[in-house]
Amino acid sequence: MNLQPGILSMSDIKKIYRKHFFDHFRYRLQFIKERCSDRELETVILVSSALDALSIYKFGRGSSNRKFCRFILSYSGLQDIYNKISLPSLKQKLEKMVEKEMHKDNNCTGKKKFIEFLTNELGVKDQDYMFLNYNEDNEIDIPFEILKDKALQHFLKEEHAETIRILEMSKEYSYIEIFWREYRCLGVHESALMRERAAMNLGESTEPFYAAEGVFNEDKIEKTVPRFDIPVIFTVKTLENCISNFERECNEQDLDPRNFIKN
């Protein structure tokens, strides 16, 4: 597309380029909705690729992870959800670490206490997470800052060093980081979804949810645990919101998309 100034003002030219730019992403979004609605892997790959591209146009060079997460948190309008920490996932990770460290006779008192804190103080109990209507009636997962405040208030000052280390690890279990790691990266690089997938979305949830999943030991179910899952319809909503909100900002600031790739 080659538009020359003169007949059109520069503002008009930039407006045309913006429409062309965002129409491209709206076409990709429409293709996903029409052709991939029953194909989870393809949807995740295409949604993630579009979000990758938009994040690069917005933030330029740098860490792909940081750009991807920052873009979604900035433009999806869903940051209150994406900023939550999956507390069952964090608890399961700590339990695995304790089990491993106990075999090596390592001191894991701090991790054990944090597990007790999650269970007794924050109510992170497996059975509470394994209902189809969890996200409608139970809001146990909380953002990192609230988790941090509650933990530092609960533990003694001499325990804060270990508590802070665990809190830093907890960031890996925010919904946005799980989206990046277990959906975007597995989908794009390995053509797979979460290795530890939650059960099928029987409740037809439109937001991240938990479902019961059996843990097997020698072909027998040893226990049932909650597994976190992000339904693909939520990733599509994320992309749709990001396109709309990023376009709105570009229109308000009269930005020229041709300058995006120069960052």
The string of pLDDT tens digits covering residues 73-125 is 999 999 999 999 999 999 999 999 998 887 665 678 899 999 999 999 998 98
From residue 8, alpha-carbon distances to 4, 13, 17, 201, 254 in Å are 7, 6, 12, 51, 15
Give the pLDDT confidence of 141-164 residue by residue, as tens digits.
Answer: 999 999 999 999 999 999 999 999
pTM: 0.88
- β partners of residue 224: 214
Instruction: Read off the tokens for 192.
Output: 């797979």
Distance CA 144, CA 221 (A): 33
Provide the pLDDT for residue 5.
54
Beta strand extents in the chain (DSSP E only): 84-85, 142-143, 209-217, 220-229
Under the banding of pLDDT at 50, 70 and 90, the label for residue 198 is very low
Tell me what percent of the residues of the chain surpass a pLDDT of 70.
87
Length of the chain measured in residues: 263
